[in-house]
Structure 1
Amino acid sequence: MYAKGQTVIGLMEELAPKSYAVEGDRIGLQIGTLQKDIRKVLVALDVTEEVADEAIREGADLIIAHHAIIYRPLPHIQTDTPAGRLYEKLIKHDIAVYIAHTNLDVADGGINDMMAEAIGMTVTEPLDEVHTDKLKKLVVFVPADHAEKVRQAMFDAGAGGIGKYSHCSFNIEGTGTFKPGEGTDPFIGKTGKLEEVKEVRVETIVPQSVERKVVQAMLKTHPYEEVAYDLYALDLKTRTFGLGRAGKLPKPVTLAELCEQVKQAFDVPMLRVVGDPDRVIRKAAVLGGSGSRYVKHAMFAGADVLITGDIDYHTAHDALAAGIALIDPGHNVEKIMKQGVAEYLQRKLAERKWATAVVASRIHTEPFRFV
Structure 2
Amino acid sequence: MGYRIQDVISYLDQLAPPAYQESYDNATLICGDRTAEVTGLLCTLDCTEAVVDEAISLGANLIVAHHPIVFKGLKSLTGRNYVERTVIKAIKHDVAIFAIHTNFDHVATGVNKRICDRLGLKETKILQPKKETLNKLVFFVPVENKSEVLDAVFAAGAGQIGEYKDCSFQVEGTGTFTPSHHANPFTGQRGVPQYEKEVRVEVILPSYLSQKVVSSMKKAHPYEEVAFYLSALENENQEVGAGMIGQLSHPMEGLDFLDFLKEKMNLSHLKHTQLLSRKIKTVAVCGGAGIFLLSDAKRSGADAFVTSDIKYHEFFDAEDRLVLCDIGHYESEIFTKELLGELLSQNFPNIALYLTKVVTNPTSYR
If the length of structure 2 is used for normalisation, what is the TM-score? 0.79
Please give the residue correspondences for 1:232-311 in structure 2 after superposition, counting only pairs within 5 Å: 232-240=229-237, 241-276=240-275, 279-311=278-310
Q: Secondary structure at the match of 1:370?
A: coil
Q: Secondary structure at the match of 2:335?
A: helix
Equivalent residue letter for 1:134: L
Residue in 1 that maps onto 2:325: 327
Query: Is residue 161–residue 168 contact of structure 1 (8 Å, CA) maintained in 2?
Result: no
- Shift of residue 253, structure 1, vs aligned partner: 1.0
Please give the residue correspondences for 1:184-223 in structure 2 after superposition, counting only pairs within 5 Å: 203=201, 205-207=203-205, 208-211=207-210
Tell me how far apart the structure 1 counterparts of residues 259 and 228 of structure 2 sit (CA, whole Å): 52
- Shift of residue 300, structure 1, vs aligned partner: 1.9
Percent of paired sites with the same residue? 29
Q: Secondary structure at the match of 1:3?
A: coil
- Shift of residue 173, structure 1, vs aligned partner: 11
Residue in 1 that maps onto 2:355: 360
Q: Secondary structure at the match of 2:285?
A: strand
Please give the residue correspondences for 1:125-164 in structure 2 after superposition, counting only pairs within 5 Å: 125-137=125-137, 139=139, 151-152=150-151, 154-155=153-154, 158-161=157-160
Specify every segment of 5 or more residues in structure 2 that has no aligned partner in the other structure, as ranges: 175-196
Q: Secondary structure at the match of 1:359?
A: strand
Equivalent residue letter for 1:259: L
Please give the residue correspondences for 1:11-160 in structure 2 after superposition, counting only pairs within 5 Å: 11-79=11-79, 81-137=81-137, 139=139, 151-152=150-151, 154-155=153-154, 158-160=157-159
- Shift of residue 338, structure 1, vs aligned partner: 0.9
Residue in 2 that maps onto 1:341: 340
Residue in 1 that maps onto 2:187: none
- Residues 170-206 of structure 1: per-residue CA shift (max 9 Å, x gap): 49799xxxxxxxxxxxxxxxxxxxxxxxx99794524
Q: Secondary structure at the match of 1:19?
A: helix
Tell me how far apart the structure 2 counterparts of residues 276 and 160 of structure 1 sit (CA, whole Å): 45
- Shift of residue 92, structure 1, vs aligned partner: 0.7
Tell me how far apart the structure 2 counterparts of residues 357 and 152 of structure 1 sit (CA, whole Å): 37
Residue in 2 that maps onto 1:194: none
Equivalent residue letter for 1:35: T
Equivalent residue letter for 1:364: V
Cα distance change of structure 1 residues 261 and 314 upon mapping to structure 2, 3 Å threshold: same
Query: Is residue 141–residue 200 contact of structure 2 (8 Å, CA) maintained in 1?
Result: yes
Query: Is residue 46–residue 69 contact of structure 2 (8 Å, CA) maintained in 1?
Result: yes
Cα distance change of structure 1 residues 147 and 6 upon mapping to structure 2, 3 Å threshold: farther
Q: Secondary structure at the match of 1:257?
A: helix
- Residues 138-169 of structure 1: per-residue CA shift (max 9 Å, x gap): 7586996x975764564355322357653436
Residue in 1 that maps onto 2:188: none
Q: Secondary structure at the match of 1:34?
A: coil
Tell me how far apart the structure 1 counterparts of residues 56 and 140 of structure 2 sit (CA, whole Å): 48
- Shift of residue 94, structure 1, vs aligned partner: 1.0
If the length of structure 1 is used for normalisation, what is the TM-score? 0.78
Q: Secondary structure at the match of 1:37?
A: coil
Q: Secondary structure at the match of 1:293?
A: helix
- Shift of residue 233, structure 1, vs aligned partner: 1.0
Tell me how far apart the structure 1 counterparts of residues 352 and 131 of structure 2 sit (CA, whole Å): 32
Cα distance change of structure 1 residues 168 and 367 upon mapping to structure 2, 3 Å threshold: same
Tell me how far apart the structure 2 counterparts of residues 6 and 218 of structure 1 sit (CA, whole Å): 27
Cα distance change of structure 1 residues 323 and 277 upon mapping to structure 2, 3 Å threshold: closer
Equivalent residue letter for 2:327: P
- Shift of residue 289, structure 1, vs aligned partner: 0.5
Equivalent residue letter for 2:253: T
- Shift of residue 17, structure 1, vs aligned partner: 1.2
Query: Is residue 141–residue 221 contact of structure 2 (8 Å, CA) maintained in 1?
Result: no
Query: Is residue 135–residue 210 contact of structure 2 (8 Å, CA) maintained in 1?
Result: no
Residue in 2 that maps onto 1:195: none
Cα distance change of structure 1 residues 160 and 297 upon mapping to structure 2, 3 Å threshold: closer
